[in-house]
Amino acid sequence: MALILSIDTSTPVCSVALHRNGQLVSLNELFLERTHASHLTLMIDQVLANAKASRSDISAIAVSEGPGSYTGLRIGASTAKGMAFALGVPIAAVPTLSAMARTVSGIQALSVGLCPMLDARRMEVYCQLYKPDGRLVWDTQALVVESIADFEESLDRFTILFFGDGAPKLREILQTHPNAHLVDGIYPSAKSVGELAWDYFQQKQFVDVAYWEPFYLKEFQAGVPKRRKPKHG
């Protein structure tokens, strides 16, 4: 029986989840900025206590690999690595945006495209774009959105739900196309990270604990970001 501990610290929302054979048994989420370092270990202990489990029961650790907050990702990665070394268990690194898409695909039954977005400063966002059948139009990238043109080709073919803390930046832009819909209240969560991690665990899709680093996507650069066009898959 596999017990997977999942961690997401990619945004101001810090969350920890515990899944047994892919089924959620405990979840703890904290909506406070700049508290990951001081609360994450306590949240892990609380999640285990709620499930009446101990650290020695953990079969694997899943962590949201990014993109997202540089500091947050570092905290999640270092915590996951420390526990993995101490317990002798593997790490599954789950893309943050893929986990967000899993959250929405799990609560809606419509055949629509999905575009998870995270704030990357100014008018730049980290995003993915999925077709209604779940296939990627383009994979994770940083994009400066100036008009609906970046999404127009897909929007002309199917409805797309835009969500995440980067999506509100596009509110006025999205209103220019009838197939574009903004969904509020969706954020990265260890719950969805753990759901995807179950597939990783079954396929033994783990990272090298010693050398793995979070997926920052881009380094911090002062000044206005350059225009980036989406790379279609």
Query: The domain spanning residue 170 has which CATH number?
Result: 3.30.420.40
Mean pLDDT of 62-85: 96
Mean pLDDT of 7-24: 96
Q: Is residue 78 domain-shared with residue 192, that is, in the same domain?
A: yes
Residue 8 counted as domain residue: yes
Number of domains in the chain: 2
| Per-residue exposure over 150-178, b if at least 16 CB sit within 10 Å of its own CB, e if not | bbeebbeeebbbbbbbbbebbeebbeeee
| Per-residue exposure over 80-113, b if at least 16 CB sit within 10 Å of its own CB, e if not | bbebbeebebbbbbbbbbbbbbbbbeeeeeeebb
Looking at residue 108, its pLDDT comes to 56
Q: Which residues, 6 or more positions from 220, have their beta carbon under 8 angstroms from its beta carbon? A: 70
Q: Is residue 84 domain-shared with residue 25, that is, in the same domain?
A: yes
Q: How confident is the model at residue 131 (pLDDT cuts 50, 70, 90)?
A: very high
Residue 42 counted as domain residue: yes
Domain hosting residue 112, numbered range = 97-183
Is there a contact between 47 and 7 (Cβ–Cβ < 8 Å)?
no
Q: Is residue 83 domain-shared with residue 49, that is, in the same domain?
A: yes
Residue 219 counted as domain residue: no
- Kindly tell me if the per-residue pLDDT of 229 is higher than 80: no
Q: Is residue 135 domain-shared with residue 59, that is, in the same domain?
A: no
Q: How confident is the model at residue 225 (pLDDT cuts 50, 70, 90)?
A: very low
Q: Is residue 56 domain-shared with residue 88, that is, in the same domain?
A: yes
Mean pLDDT of 88-104: 96
Q: Could you tell me which residues are beta bridge partners of residue 3? A: 20
Q: Which pLDDT tens digit goes with each residue over 40-72?
A: 999 999 999 999 999 999 999 999 999 999 999
pTM reported for the whole predicted model: 0.89
Q: How confident is the model at residue 231 (pLDDT cuts 50, 70, 90)?
A: low
Looking at residue 177, its pLDDT comes to 95
Q: Is residue 26 domain-shared with residue 89, that is, in the same domain?
A: yes
Q: Is residue 47 domain-shared with residue 112, that is, in the same domain?
A: no
Q: Is residue 79 domain-shared with residue 102, that is, in the same domain?
A: no
Identify the helix (H) or strand (E) that includes residue 160. strand 160-163
- Kindly tell me if the per-residue pLDDT of 218 is higher than 80: no
